[in-house]
Structure 1
Amino acid sequence: MGILTVLREASNDESKELLATNVLEQTKGREIVLSSHQIASKVIENLLEFCSDETLGEYQEAFKADIRSLCLNGFSSHVLQKLISISAMRYLTKNSVEDEPPEKKIKTEDGIPLGILSKSKSFVETCSKFLLNNLEEFVWDSYANHVIRTCLTTLSGRILEEKVSIPGEWTEIFKEYVARLRDWPFFADFPYQELTSGLLQFLIQALARVDKNTLKSIGGFFTEPNTSETPQESPSKLHKLFSTESSIRFLEVLISVAGNKLFTKIFLRLFQGNFKELSLLKSANFSVQKLLDNMKNKDDFNICFTELEPHFAEILQTGHTGIILALCLACKRLEINQNQFIKVGLPKN
C-alpha cells in the first residue's frame, strides 16, 4: 500500500504517470493473477488511471484473454470495471483516431495499423459484447452484474458529465442490451430484487442520456396500475413499486430522470391521492421528497400541496421533516402556495 501513498503524494500528473507506468510494467504477464489478489488489485485499480496509453493497451490485451474469470472474481471485477471506464474516457475525450500522431500508432497481430485510441474503443466493445452474450448468466452474479452496469454507463457516454459524440457501434450494442433485457420474462420483477434493481437504475440513467423514448416506454411499463393482485393479496391501494426498498430506490431514480410526460404519468398513477400515506411511511417518504424536488408543473404541485397541507403536524410528528422542507423549496421554486405554506407553518395562538 506504500505505492498508493507515493501516488497520492506525487506532485503532478507527469510524476503519477511515470510511477503508474513503472509499477504496472512489473506486472507484465501476471496481470490477471495479480488483479485477482485483494491487495494487488487495489493498487492496480488506482494506477490504471494514470498509466501511459501503451501500458493501458497492454492491460487491455491481457484482460481480453479471460474476461469471464475477471467478471466473476470479487477483486478482478473491480479492476475490469476501472479498465473499461478508463478506456472509454480516454477514447471519448480524445475522440478521433485520425488525430493521433504517427508515434502513437500500433499494429494488430495481423499487422493492420490500429491507433491506440481505437484500441481503447475496441476493448470497450469486446467486453460489452462478451457480457451481452452471457447476459442471462451474468445478471444474477453479484460481481458481473456491476461490470454490466459499467458497460451500460460507458456505451451511453454517461461516463462523462458533458455530452459527447458516441460511436455508432456503442449505440448498437447498447440497444441490444435494452432489447435483450426487455424481452426477458423476469424483466417485470427487476425492480423488486436488490441486484437487478441496481442494474435497472443504471439502465434508465443511461437511457436518459441516449434514448428518452425508450425511457418513457420502460417507465410507463413499470408504473402500470396494479392489476394482477386481488385485494386479499394486496390490501394496500399503493402501487407495487412501494412494496420493497429496492423498488423504491428504482422509483426515486426514475423520478429524477423522467421527462415531463413520464413524470406526469408517475405523479398520476402512483402519488395522486396517496400523498398523506406515503409521507407518513418511513420507507416511502423519500420518494415524495424526490417527486417534490423534481416537480415542474404548478398544477401538479397544487394538487400535492392541497393533499399534504392538512397533515403538516402529523408529518412533523413522524420526524419526516424532509417532506416539509421539500414542499417549502418547491413553493419557492415554482412561486406558488407560498402564503399558504407560511400560514400553515405559523404557530397557532
Structure 2
Amino acid sequence: MQPLPSRIETLTVVGGGVIGLTCALAAADAGFSVRVLDAGIGQRAAWVAAGMLGSLGEGHPGEEQLLEMSASSARRWPDLVARLGDPTVMAAADSLFVAATAADAERLRTLADFVWARQPRAHDDLAPVTPADLRRLEPALTSRVHGGFRAVGEGAVDNRALLGRLRDAVVAAGGEIHDRHVEDLADLDGDQVLVAAGLGTRNLLPDIAVHAVKGEVLRLRATRWSVPPPTHVVRARMHGRSVYLVPRADGIVVGATQYEPFDEASREPEVGGVADLLTDATDLMPGLRTYELVEVGAGLRPVSPDGLPVIARVDERVLVATGHGRNGILLAPYTADRVMALLDTVSGDVTSAAGKKNSC
C-alpha cells in the first residue's frame, strides 16, 4: 500500500454497524483521525444476525465472485479477532452441513462440488460426513439425517459481542463515536467520508442501488432441563428449506428466513417465517423444545442488484460500502481492506460507485 497523501488526515464514517466500525478501526490503526456517526442499534442489520463466518457455506452456482470474496475475507478473520484481543467473541470454530432427506443431501453435494471446483483448498476444509459422524459430533441432532459435510474453520462470532468489542477498539485507537442521524453529507466535517449506512445509504447517495431483503432470526435460551447447545454451527437442509443453529453462551440463535418484503417500513417478524424456523429447528434438534423462546427479531439487509457489495469511490471525498446482504459480518475485514486501498487512490481516477467498476 502506498503512503497516504499528507492532506488526508480525518475520516468520518456514517454508520455504526460491523462494516462501518471495522473500516473505522482499520483507518484509526493507519493513522487517521476517525469519527463514527451512529444512527443507533435499531438501524443495524448486524444486531439481528447469527454471525456466521462460513465462506464455503455461501458458495452457490452463479455466485463465483462472491465465493472468492467470501473466502478471502474468511482468511482475514483470525487477524481481526486477534486485533480485538478477545477470543471469546468467537461462538464456534467449525460448521456441520446436515441433510434431512436424500434430496437435501443431493443439494448439499451439488453445492460442495461447486465449492471444490472454485476453491481447490476447500478439499482440505470441507469433507463428507456420515449420519453416524454427525451424531458423534453433535449427539443432540435427530437420528433421521442423511449425512452431510463438515467445514473446518467455518465458525461464527457472537454478533452482539462483536459490535461492543469493535466500538471499544475504535475508541481505544483514538476514534470517536457519536450518536447522530445524518441527512446531508455536505454537513459533515472530515477530509474523507465513508458511507456505510446499510439501507440508509440510499437517502444519502440516491445513485447507489440497494434494496431490502428481510429475514427473521430467533434467539433461544437453555433451561436447567435443556440439552446443551451444539458446539458447531449447524446448517441444515430440511425438506428443501434452510435452517441454521448457532451456539451462544446461554443458548442458540436460529435462522434465518430470506425474502423481499412487501413493506420496507415494517420490521416486524411474520408468522409464517417464524413457524417454519421453529418447526425445522426442533425437527433437527428435538431437545430444543425445552428451550425458552426469548427473542423473535426481523432485520432488513441491503442487497445490490448483482448480489455483490458496493465498495467504491463516489467522488474525491466520498466512499461507499454497502449492499453486503446476508454476508455483512463475514465480509467486514475484506471490506475494510478495500476501503483502505481506496483511500490511497484519492488523487487518482475516481470510479463511479453506481457503475460498480470498483466493487470488488
Note whether the superposition's TM-score is higher than 0.5. Answer: no
Shorter-chain TM band? under 0.3
Which structure carries more strand by proportion?
2
TM (norm. structure 2) is 0.22
> Highest relative contact order (Cα 8 Å, sep 6+), 1 or 2?
2
Q: Which has the larger radius of gyration?
A: 1
Please report the TM-score for the alignment, with normalisation by the length of structure 1: 0.23
